[in-house]
Amino acid sequence: MRQPLRALIVEDSRDDADLLVMELSRAGYEVSFERVQSRSAMEAALARGPWDVVLCDYSLPGFDALGALEVVSSSELDVPFLIISGTVGEEIAVEALRSGAHDYLLKDRLGRLRPAIERERREVALRSERRAAAEKLRVSEERFRTLVDSMEDLVFTLDRDLIYDGVFGSWLKREGIAPEQMLGRSWAETMPETTGEHNTAGLRALAGERVTYEWTMDGVDGARHFNTSLSPRRGSTGEVTGLVGISREVTEQKRVQAQLLVADRMFSVGLLAAGVGHEINNPLAAVMANLDLGSHYLKELATSGASPDAVRELQEALREARTGAERVRNIVRDLRMFSRGGEEGKQLVDVERVMDSAVRMAWNEIRHRARLIKEYRTVPRVSASESRLAQVFLNLLVNAAQALPEGHASENEIRVATHSRGDHVVIEVADTGPGIPPEALGRLFTPFFTTKPVGVGTGLGLSICHRIVSGLGGEITVDTEVGRGTTFRVIVPSALAAEDQVIEEAPVEPPAAPLPAATSTSGALARVLVVDDESMIGRAIHRMLSPHYDVTVVTRARDALSRIHGGARFDVILCDLLMPEMTGMDLHDELVLTAPDQAAAMVFVTGGAFTPRAREFLTEMAARCIEKPFDTAALRQMVADRVRMR
């Protein structure tokens, strides 16, 4: 098969052109050609192409090879250009090659014409492939840049020295940052306040690891949170040449998560409100009945000699009233544990005590459905937020109870257990319910997924439990079998495994105190000022302290301020934290300026801090606070300690 060849011959001699065609035919080509000998004719012929080769005589009347080269170049065609001449010298040939000719041959030595044409055609094909590849690369890069520039995230590349060599993404435009402000700079130059976190993650990624981490920076409206992923960027031989990173701002997600956490906590408490009300009403009924009975016997004692039986009845009634009041106080404390804000820091927490609080909260859900079995083993305390851990336990207990039918408590069990596993504490909540179907297990900790009927639960409980436990460095797992029940297992590090953390001691109940000393350092009866807008509380404190102290009671902070500005001085000032008109915090601030010795004498009595300012204030004044409801011994001990300090 002869190979077709379209040749444009630039030649003024017809005979020489025919010789070229004859040589091409002898070389195995099926030749179609056109002969031109002027610039205009050549331009017209090139437009009629395509041509496989241009064969050009060096010198023509009014035209030459260099002019022909210029025509080909201006046409932007990639076609082999061979000079064929009988007179061209070496210097002229070199000049022609420098100008863009691909080869030159002498007319009397055309034996290498075919090899030259084939070589140049292969070169044209290679150049075409390279141009196509370059165009595909350009289109790909343009598509990539369009893609990453449209992303909300910051996409970036780093070299091995952790210097930015590429930054993309609409985040830059939104923040008003030009790429040039980051290119060629390090983290230390662009984000000095968080350099340590980034460098630590960067070094891990350079070692071949894929790293994801969260970090925080200060913003105009408060802290801004980001999630960054770093992956190694590898060269052709597999070596790590740098990093590819994506940073996404998650500030809004953090806010939503915090809101969902509070919403779920409030849902849990709301779900149990009826049961809590029931639990409070029972001891309150006992308190009121026994106090009425005590009042009756007190009247008898006042009007006649009391019989031993009457005295015993009175003592028993008052003892039962005290027991009932203690139950009410415990329930209120449990509620306060669950209502604490998400900003509560880590403490050394007794998991058994927290579980017992959760059980009391969930008891109205449990008792109609199952027998409760406790299997507590001695375990170390854990480093955790008490309220967050309580929320986890409460969710698991309510889920266990709601998995069981009502009215068959003797046939079902809910078991809570604690034990140690190495340097971790394991807490289990198990039920004998129907179990969880296999198709639901994979989505169990997904937000808004629930197997409960419509209107029962938000679908957030287990996802929030997972998030809380993960935040403590632990994990939550589930073992279940359809028809046999379910066990949720919370595994968290013990406090012994968290020696590098700064942990506060959880508050403990004040010990019972002996009757305190009643005098100040001067020997006179110590003076106590009680400031509380609830007059009955003021009177109760007066009854507790008046046998041993000179007690003054006022119901307004401004009245207390007026007395002190009038010259009155007190060894101890027991002041309610939150009052109308003027709070205990405001009174303290005023006394710091006008009577600092009296500000130092203040002890704050509080039933709970419900505002950020109050919580922050109580944190600062933790050593000078006593919580309502308080008992006589604790209050007297607090007052005695403050008197001795004067």
Asked whether residue 343 carries a pLDDT value surpassing 60, the answer given is no
Mean pLDDT on 522-534: 85
Round to whole Å and give the CA distance between 232 and 137. Answer: 22
Q: Which pLDDT score, from 0 to 100, does residue 318 have?
A: 66
First to last CA, the chain: 119
- 334 — pLDDT class (breaks 50, 70, 90): low
pLDDT at 50 over 80: yes
What order of strands is seen across the sheet that includes strand 103-106?
A: 29-36, 3-10, 53-56, 81-85, 103-106
Query: What pLDDT is attached to residue 509?
Result: 45
DSSP characters over 325-362: HHHHHHHHHHHHHHH--TT---EEE-HHHHHHHHHHHH
Report which DSSP code applies to 163: B
Residues 6+ apart with CB under 8 A from 141: none
Rounded Cα–Cα distance for residues 586 and 590 (Å)? 6
**pLDDT value, residue 513:** 43
Give the closest residue to 606 by CA, choosing from 537, 549, 508.
537
| Residue scoring higher pLDDT (430 or 74) | 430
Under 8 Å CB-to-CB from 480, ≥6 apart: which residues? 435, 436, 441, 486, 487
Q: Tell me the C-alpha distance between 586 and 556, whole Å.
A: 12
- Closest by Cα among 381, 397, 400, 399 to 472: 381
Percent of the chain with pLDDT over 90: 29
Q: What is the pLDDT of residue 390?
A: 87
Q: What percent of the chain is predicted at pLDDT more than 70?
A: 77
Q: Is the pLDDT of residue 507 over 70?
A: no
Residue 521: per-residue pLDDT: 54
Asked which of 77-81, 325-329, 398-402, 536-540 is least confident by mean pLDDT, the reply is 325-329
| Predicted local distance difference test score (pLDDT) of residue 432 | 93
Those residues whose C-beta lies under 8 Å from the C-beta of residue 286, and which sit 6 or more positions away, are: 320, 321, 323, 324
Question: Which fold does the domain 527-645 belong to in CATH?
Answer: Rossmann fold (3.40.50)
Instruction: Please list, residue by residue across 168-180, b when 16 or more beta carbons sit within 10 angstroms of its beta carbon and e when fewer do.
Output: bbebbeeeeeeee
Residue 339 has pLDDT above 90, yes or no: no
Q: What are 473's strand-pairing partners?
A: none
CB 370 within 8 A of CB 412: yes
| CATH class in words for 273-505 | alpha beta
> How sure is the predictor about 111, in pLDDT bands with cuts at 50, 70 and 90?
confident
Question: Which of residues 48 and 501 earns the better pLDDT score?
Answer: 48
Q: Is the pLDDT of residue 329 over 90?
A: no
Instruction: Write out the two tokens for 153.
Output: 């995230």
218-275: per-residue pLDDT in tens? 877 778 888 899 999 998 888 999 999 988 888 887 777 766 665 565 555 555 554 4
Those residues with Cβ within 8 angstroms of residue 86's Cβ, 6 or more apart along the chain or in another chain: 106, 107, 108
**Whether the predicted pLDDT of 623 surpasses 70:** yes
pLDDT at residue number 315:
67
Matching CATH number, 151-249, of 3.30.450.20, 3.40.50.300, 3.30.460.20, 3.40.30.10: 3.30.450.20
Assign 503 a pLDDT band (cuts: 50, 70, 90).
very low
Count of residues in the chain = 646
Inform me whether the pLDDT recorded for 519 exceeds 60: no
pLDDT of residue 465 exceeding 90, the answer is no
Each domain of the chain, given as residue ranges in start order, spans 3-128, 151-249, 273-505, 527-645
Q: Which amino acid is at 161?
A: D
In 86-190, beta strands by DSSP E: 103-106, 154-159, 164-168
Res 278 pLDDT > 80: no
Instruction: Pick the more confident residue, 505 or 583.
Output: 583
At 398, which amino acid appears? Answer: V
Segment 39-45 shows an average pLDDT of 91
The whole-number pLDDT of residue 295 equals 62
Name 386's Cβ contacts closer than 8 Å, sequence gap at least 6.
337, 340, 344, 347, 349, 354, 506
CA distance linking residue 110 with residue 242, whole number of Å: 55
Exposure pattern of 197-206 as b/e (b: 16+ CB <10 Å)? bbeebbeebb
CA 88 to chain centroid = 78
Query: Given pLDDT bands bounded at 50, 70 and 90, which one contains residue 454?
Result: very low
In the predicted structure, residue 486 carries a pLDDT above the cut 90: yes
Mean pLDDT lowest for which of 89-98, 154-163, 374-383? 89-98
CA angle 454, 457, 463 (to 5 degrees): 125
Q: Which CATH class is domain 3-128?
A: alpha beta
**CATH topology identical between 3-128 and 527-645:** yes
Mean pLDDT score of the chain: 80
